[in-house]
Structure 1
Amino acid sequence: MRKLAHRVLLILAACWAATALAAEIVRFPDYPDPNKRFFRAALQLALDKSGQAYTLMPVLPQMLQGRSIARAMGAGGDIDVLWTMTTREREALLLPVRFPVDKGLLGWRIAIVRQDKAAQFANVQTVQDLRYFTAGQEHDWPDTRILRESGLPVMTASQYDSLFRMLVVKRFDYFPRGVAEAWAEVDARPELGLTVDRFIVLRYPAAEYFFVTPRKPYLAEHIWQGLLRAQADGSFDRLFHAHFDPLLQRARLSQRRVIELDNPMIDAGRLLPADSPWWYRPLPAAN
């Protein structure tokens, strides 16, 4: 009996080893992104639901979005999949998985400001009012063009971390961030004297997709199928709400003045319909 049990264990171990060896490595960039735990978990969920054998592996060190896209494009590149805001250019260079992983939250932008200027937007009602203030952004972010084409002044930096110091020394007035990014970034830098504006939210059509290297179209299809299955069985929504609900409660989007901006970098006809349940919509403010 013991010999039989030992043989069964050996067979199971061999099967596990064979499966592990057969699993394809999927490499993704390690962004300086406070929400990367969510996106990595969503990617892992999609791969698990795909029914295929994949193992995720981060590519270090941390890199800018533009660099990761270039490395995903190249024939000998070492990036298989990344997550970023969709644009026409990115959809032409890479294979988009047209599932808004962030439910469009990237298009809801709240501002990091200096504590001594916490009330600077108290009387801002329109985009024209906002033109008296200068925003800060990284030079290769799509947001930079979106803000500028709306007539809003923008100062750029080549390094993400530099933007916080530039705000502190008054190189610009506010740093628009995603609703799921702002507080984590402020909380991580208590010595800088920053806070999150409570009066306004910028909103423009946007979606954060997984983008796959053109070398692996089958991977894009597997991620798409996995996301659809996760959406259908409720596991994707559970993951989304577990990560974002505390941040959305803190953001109080329904109590802010919404300043609508156009997004010239997307083809709106390729986004899901506005009434799709895959988009996030704030609940109306309670009376």
Structure 2
Amino acid sequence: MINRLYLSAQRCLLHLLLLLLSGSACCQTTVIYPSSASSIDIRHNDLIELLSTSLEKTKREYGAYSVGPSKLKMNEARSLVELKRGDSVTVVWSPTSEELEKKYIAIRIPLRKGLLGLRISLIDKKKQSSLERVNTITDLKKLSLGMGIGWVDLSVLKANEINVVTAHYDALFTMTAHDRFDLFPRGINEVFNEYDQRRQIYPNLAVEQNLLIYYPWPYYFFVNKNNPQLAERIRLGLERMIDDGTFNRIFMKYNGEAIRRANLSHRHIIQLKNPFLPRQTPTDARYWLFPSLIKSDVIKQTLH
């Protein structure tokens, strides 16, 4: 009799343990981000670390999580389509616009402190001397710029009447080195890594030395409208990271050397307008590398 009671109690405990384990698995947050279309693309490593750390910072409130890339490789435009469908990715990163903020939940914390809006170009090195004479947006309109198919900031360049040539990401470096267009503008956080990766493959490739093209370009995480809990979890995690310094440490880990190499004080700035900048863009100085620039742009947008 005692043995039967003991065995029955064991079964009850085992059943309870299985229920708890299955409940824990069900409650785990599964986060899937877009897998890059290029096998050697390291542009988004900082964003992946920010995302993972934001989830780690919120385990107490939201529980366990898993985070990883999508099975499908995709460019920026495709990732937004997939996010709308809501099955192959649950979070994407993208420059913002009024249209995107209507379609998705925007987590309005600029992931790179506005750095992506500061553009230094890759060029065919034979062009450097002629580019020394480019000083105004009128001069820039006489040139052709290379951009990726499906990149969101194509609309910004076209709004500024800039001539654009589009191609897939990897092909753009070949085209730059073979003089298929004049400039291949890259974010400060991108240009030096991309140059270092490819300089031996393309001996003609060079980082342009004179110009800095600027347009306000906040870069956010976005989630599906049906997933507000994930949006709030990521937002809370990022805010905690800003407060405790983790956000800035990750930012400098990936971007500090590039900012130094950019030699910003010796570059001539050509400023473009971004007519798609949402009026809700935050101007809190702790979010931005150069807060005065973004504040000025948001004020202009509000007045229009």
**Is the structural similarity TM-score above 0.5?**
yes
1:209-262, Cα deviation, whole Å (9 max, x unpaired): 001122311000110011111111111111111211011000112221111100
The answer to whether the aligner puts 1:67 opposite 2:78 as a matched pair is: yes
Equivalent residues of 1:82, 1:212 under 8 A apart: yes
The Cα RMSD (Å) is 2.2
Three-state SS of the structure 1 residue aligned to 2:282 is coil
The residue aligned with 1:210 is: 221
Q: Does 1:247 align with 2:261?
A: no
1:174 aligns with 2:183: yes
Q: CA deviation at 1:35?
A: 2.6
* Matches of 2:46 and 2:247, distance apart in 1: 11
Shift of 1:17: 9.8
Query: How many matched pairs?
Result: 266
2:130 match: secondary structure: coil
Moved over 6 A (4+): 14-18
Aligned to 2:53: 45
Q: Which is further off, 210-219 or 159-168?
A: 159-168
Matched residues in 2 for 1:169 and 1:195: separation? 12
* Counterpart check, 1:183 vs 2:188: no
Matched with 1:160 is: 169
Distance 1:16 1:280, change over 3 A: farther
**Larger Cα-atom Rg:** 2
- Counterpart AA for 1:135: L
Check whether the contact 2:125–2:205 (CA below 8 A) recurs between aligned residues: yes
Structure 1 residue 55 corresponds to structure 2 residue 66: yes
Secondary structure of 1:262's partner? coil
Q: Name the CA distance, whole Å, in 2 between partners of 1:37 and 1:253.
A: 24
Q: Which structure shows the higher helix fraction?
A: 2
1:27 is aligned to 2:35: no
SS in 2 for 1:206: coil
Q: Which residue of 2 aligns with 1:9?
A: none
Unaligned runs of 5+ in 2: 1-17, 292-304
TM norm structure 1: 0.86
Query: C-alpha separation between the residues in 2 aligned to 1:22 and 1:111?
Result: 46
Which of the numbers 122, 127, 132 marks the counterpart of 1:112?
122
Distance 1:187 1:38, change over 3 A: same
1:124 aligns with 2:134: yes
Length-normalised TM-score, structure 2: 0.81
2:266 matched to 1:266?
no
Which runs of 5 or more residues in structure 1 are unaligned? 1-13, 283-287
Q: SS at 1:222's partner residue?
A: helix
SS in 2 for 1:186: helix
